[in-house]
Amino acid sequence: MLGTATSRTLASLKRHPHASFSARGGAFEIDASRCSGDAFLESRATLAPMNRRAMLFPLTLALAACATQSPPPAPATAAPPATVAPPAPLLPPVPQPPERPVAPASVTDPMLPQAQRIDAFVDYTASAYGVPAQSVRDGLARAQFLQRTVDIIARPAEAVRPWSAYRPIFLDDARITGGVAFYAQNRADLDRIAASTGVPAEYIVAIIGVETNYGKNTGSYRVLDALYSLAFGYPKRAPFFAGELAQLFALGQDEHIDVASLTGSYAGAMGLGQFMPSSYRLWGKDGDGDGKRDLISDKDDVFASIANYFVVHGWQRGGAVVARATRDPSAADFVADSIDPVYPLPLLAQRGYRPQAGEPVPAAGAAEGATVITLDGDAGKEYWLGYRNFYVITRYNHSPMYAMAVHQLAQAIRAGSGGA
């Protein structure tokens, strides 16, 4: 749920045919010097975890891979080519849940008077979620506008850090030993939820480690204030944040929570797993069976909810996540048009990219593809094949580097916890 793509990098984003991308993020831009306390959260984007369809990916070609091969010299007669290479046989994208609802223009249009927008928001929240209008009005009356949240989200993007600078933020000794300790402290519950969902415990722990440093940085903004400010003070993303604000009221009603009591990031993400209100409502789980979904203070609920988030976005039990790849010296760059694993492995091999010996591969017979991920590592370019489960991690935060950090942190936590 961290933010990743920034407005600047978004310029390089391409719209995937199967997904809509929203704007900006921040995790990519995390300043290592700010990785403690709430400042860390502030450095993350907006991007509500759970919701960003923004993809920061060195997008370039994929489909265009076809076009990167040099065509034969044109004959002098300039006759049309006799044959044309068939389009790459792409696999279907990983099925995703429906997009979450956003607020209507009557709420978000900055040209409308504020009072009129507030009235429209009350009507929208009441009709969409059945929250009594008066209780929405009462809640809004308690909200404070925080210019700071708008300033944070609107600030210019920094340059995207290369993997060599991003990785140490999340793969340092403290983050790894913290994860090992967190796993040890919660092992029975984590293992139980892992067994029931198919999401390995170390990935649940790694998400918590990357998102909040195991609960040390869950955010100190009132979620009500943050979402209210962004819904009514940041037109660029008002549809999303006003939609989340409406869901916050719905959440309060569903779970019998005083919405003004909730704290989180400047973008309204809450708890160990940094769930936005919509994610909380849609995919939150009651992990301990006490009849409540408490993603703020109940670890079992958080573990179950993170695992469920993976499951609803397509996690496959026992599936491969990512593999180091070899790249033929003659291979053209393969900057995938999609982070979706829609490229059959034979096609990728044809293009010069193969899993290294001993690296994970899909189960025999699995109709599973991959995508090529190129990272700027300490020793130069690294090539990876991201499989379905890697893609699923990017649904938490639409950044390949985020997903790679979660994966490698998970591996390190597993190794430090006695291996398999």
Q: Across-strand partners of 222? A: 263
Residue 219 beta carbon to Ca ion: minimum distance, rounded to whole angstroms: 21
Residue type present at position 395 = R
Q: Specify the residue, 185 or 297, whose C-beta has the smaller distance to Ca ion.
A: 297
Residue 306 beta carbon to Ca ion: minimum distance, rounded to whole angstroms: 14
244 near 265, Cβ under 8 Å? no
Whose tokens are 């850090």? That residue is 161
Rounded to whole angstroms, the Cα distance separating 379 from 20 reads 34
Rounded to whole angstroms, the Cα distance separating 340 from 16 reads 9
Q: Specify the residue, 295 or 321, whose C-beta has the smaller distance to Ca ion.
A: 295
User: Looking at 196-241, which runs of residues are DSSP E strands?
Assistant: 221-222
Q: Specify the residue, 189 or 301, whose C-beta has the smaller distance to Ca ion.
A: 301
Between β-strands 221-222 and 263-264, what pairing exists: parallel, antiparallel or unpaired?
Answer: antiparallel
Percent of the chain as helix, strand, coil, to the nearest 5: 45, 5, 45
Residue 255 annotated as catalytic: no
Residue 291 beta carbon to Ca ion: minimum distance, rounded to whole angstroms: 7
Q: Specify the residue, 29 or 298, whose C-beta has the smaller distance to Ca ion.
A: 298
Catalytic residue among 29, 42, 202, 211: 211
Rounded to whole angstroms, the Cα distance separating 283 from 293 reads 10
Residue 300 beta carbon to Ca ion: minimum distance, rounded to whole angstroms: 6
164 near 277, Cβ under 8 Å? no
Q: Specify the residue, 119 or 288, whose C-beta has the smaller distance to Ca ion.
A: 288
Rounded to whole angstroms, the Cα distance separating 378 from 140 reads 49
Residue 184 beta carbon to Ca ion: minimum distance, rounded to whole angstroms: 22
Q: Which residues bind Ca ion (CB under 5 A)?
A: 286, 288, 290, 292, 298, 301
Indicate which residues carry an active-site annotation.
211
